[in-house]
Amino acid sequence: MHNIPLSKSGSQYIAFGKTAAGTQRYRCLECRKTFIGKQKSISGQRRSEKNRDVFILVVNRVPLSRIVETTTLAPKAVYDKIEFIYDQCRLYSGSREAKLLTPDFVLPKMYVSVDRQYYLVNWLKRDDRRAVQLNAIATADLKSGYVFGMHLNFDETVIASQVEEAAAKAGDAHLAPPFRRYARLWLARDYDEALTDAQRRVSASFFTAPPNFNDALLNDISSEYADADARTDIEESDFKNKELQLPKSGMQVREMYTMYGHFQLVARMLRNAPKVRVFMDQDSGFRAAFMSAYRDRVKERTADGFFVKVAKDATAYQKQHAVVEAKRQLILFMAENGITDEYSAQVEMMKLNVRAATPVGRWGDKWVNHPMPIASEPRKQVSWQTNLGDYDENHEARLLLKASLHAVDRFFMITRRRLTKAERPVVSVRRNRAMWYGYAAYNPTYLARELEICRVYFNYCVVGKDKKTPAMRLGLASHPVDPQEILHFS
């Protein structure tokens, strides 16, 4: 009988002392069994007052050794608290994001950006100094900035030696990848085969003569198509070389599976939105995962997918110059055409660019130059992947004007700046300019933990210029959340 909630039990339960940790114990009067009520999230912790300190220090780029020094906690205690914070973040965000799945939660038209970022995990043995490269895929809302997911292609729950043995017994090596029992995981044999595939892709990128567009960004787009065409599986974008290795603990997941899982999850979270526009970094794997997750909505014309390619290597001067020049061209266009409204002028400029779209790649995808760059995206080309020709040119132009990866790239920048394990490598002069990863993780598990902690902290705790958090703008929170609220959530 004690599976009945306390709030509905009436007189069926009576208080029956407390546990050694101070939690209330109850007895069922019918079956005479005893049980404990809902425990506090911090139940059993000796130094719970340090939880918030560890939380704040982790998301403010303080390395583990400095956290130990600042909090006077033992290293193991700090790791235990990171585990606890991670669990609490998942519980808290899960309870809030579950609202997105309820029919009465109303979302507006959603414009989201999808991209991935690589993170490096340090080597463990001096005689094998190859790094482990893992990729995290994220989706962010362009308007609110809310990050719907940050998924690393890594599974901590499996043991490589056991999976390798089980795969050998199942005969996976003799089967095509889709029919293997452990197809989603990178096995040692698959890694060796991938090196050959990588060499073929490098050759395709460097030795396949791209069309001379007199435009560096279009040539980069063309090279991406050549790379995709050279893959054994066009949807498999994982790239391996002799300077990388597989993780020693847990197993690396094939990026294709992470992509499909990520897109399926986000599609469920956005199912209450009347329209969904997804702006993706150029990758055939992204396109396939998008079509799998939104296929019915694409047919219904309530979802559309776009490739976006951005010049990310521009200098600060080039970025500023691009914005100033675009503004100058806009003013000139308005004067020449007698248009007084800036947005109307931008629509007309985009319509002209659509008519001058450039077909690129084996499939002739049409790429349109975006006329209004921003500082973080000084050059931008857009390709509408689900264009069925049923939208009028004004509607098409307005959609293409919204194309951007800024929201997700901004969050990637935040992980670099806020997490020590996500920092970019620096060049070591003493080691013949080899890359040194400083505070990078040695165990990918803790990288995954901190990425999720950072996502929840950013969504619910970080206030923007409008005094709101991304969760508040999306309607999942009514106020900025203090980390203490997450830590005590039950």
CA pair distance 48, 12, nearest whole angstrom: 34
169 in a structural domain: no
Query: Are the C-beta atoms of 396 and 306 separated by less than 8 Å?
Result: no
Listed residue (446, 441, 442) closest to 423, CA to CA = 441
pLDDT at 433: 47
User: Is the pLDDT higher at 459 or at 12?
Assistant: 459
Q: What sections of 59-215 are H helices per DSSP? A: 64-71, 75-97, 160-170, 188-207
Burial of 377 (0-12, 13-18, 19+ CB in 10 A): buried
pLDDT at 233: 74
Which three-class secondary structure state does DSSP give residue 124? coil
Encode pLDDT of 26-35 as tens digits.
Answer: 778 778 777 7
| DSSP summary character for residue 172 | G
Encode pLDDT of 59-70 as tens digits.
Answer: 999 999 999 999
Place of tokens 């114990």: 25
407 in a structural domain: yes
Please check whether residues 455 and 429 belong to one and the same domain.
no
For 243-276, the DSSP string reads TB---SSSEEBPHHHHHHHHHHHHHHHTTTSS-E
Please check whether residues 465 and 317 belong to one and the same domain.
no
Please check whether residues 65 and 21 belong to one and the same domain.
no
Residue 189: what are its φ and ψ, rounded to 5°? -65, -40
What mean pLDDT do residues 296-317 have?
A: 93
Listed residue (115, 391, 408) closest to 259, CA to CA = 115
- pTM of the shown model: 0.87
- Give the model's confidence band at 212: pLDDT under 50 very low, under 70 low, under 90 confident, else very high: low
Q: How many domains does the chain have?
A: 3
Please check whether residues 307 and 453 belong to one and the same domain.
no
Please check whether residues 383 and 327 belong to one and the same domain.
yes
Please check whether residues 326 and 349 belong to one and the same domain.
yes
The answer on pLDDT for 216 being more than 70 is: yes
Please check whether residues 322 and 435 belong to one and the same domain.
yes
Please check whether residues 391 and 485 belong to one and the same domain.
no
First and final C-alpha spacing in the chain: 23
pLDDT at 429: 47
Strand partners, 434: 428
Please check whether residues 286 and 344 belong to one and the same domain.
yes
Query: Are the C-beta atoms of 358 and 218 separated by less than 8 Å?
Result: yes
Strand partners, 131: 244
Please check whether residues 317 and 455 belong to one and the same domain.
no
CA angle 39, 41, 45 (to 5 degrees): 100
Domain that residue 61 falls in: 46-105+443-490
Please check whether residues 267 and 412 belong to one and the same domain.
yes
Q: At what angle do helices 342-355 and 393-402 cross, to 10 degrees?
A: 100
